[in-house]
Amino acid sequence: MGLFRSSELLGIARETMEFTLEACEETHPNEYMGFLRTEDTSQLDLDKTGQVITDVLVIPGTKSSQVSASVRSHMKPNDIRSVGSVHSHPNGVLQPSDADLATFGQGQVHIIIGAPYGWGDWKVFDNHGEQTTLEVLDVELPENHFFDFTQEEIDAELAAEGRLNDLEPDARDSDSGWFF
């Protein structure tokens, strides 16, 4: 991928959407939250120019309950491949809340998935909270595409960097610095 990416977001990979729907169902009755990242179409053997959502990043230390999910704002990805967020509404309501709308300015697209987490149970919104569309694309993802690591490996890496305590419960008592 070059230094600059095409600004056109073509859609989301079917495999990525399937993963997200399953993750929301597994997290139920708590909210699920992740961040959307793209891959340039040149890496996906597509004849079109643009970006396809291929990754959903779940940030270590994400707090989740039946009414909200949050991450520390300094842990959010902020790179050229970041395009928005995805989260679930366990109550099935597919409209953004006021809290959702307050965060939508921090990305191009935001997906809300509602219970029971099937193919018809999600909507996409732009950064102004207006409903939009997102095509589900049948693309072949690179074999090394999805992350293959354990929580123990994450903890070991954070410990090596001296950041493990940031994720322990005592360090998360304050809501200061959390992204909702």
3-state secondary structure (DSSP) of residue 55: strand
Positions annotated as catalytic residues are 31
Write out 65-88 in H/E/C secondary structure: CCCCEEEEHHHCCCCCCEEEEEEE
Q: Count of CB atoms within 10 A of residue 85's CB?
A: 25
CB 83 within 8 A of CB 13: no
For residues 20 and 55, what is the distance between their CA atoms, to the nearest angstrom? 10
Q: How far is CA 55 from CA 25, 58, 87, 142, 167, in A?
A: 18, 10, 14, 11, 22
Q: In the block, which residue shows the tokens 């509602």?
A: 114
Q: Which residues are bridge partners to 70 per DSSP?
A: 63
For residues 93 and 113, what is the distance between their CA atoms, to the nearest angstrom? 8
Of 70, 80, 103, nearest to 177 (Cα)?
A: 70
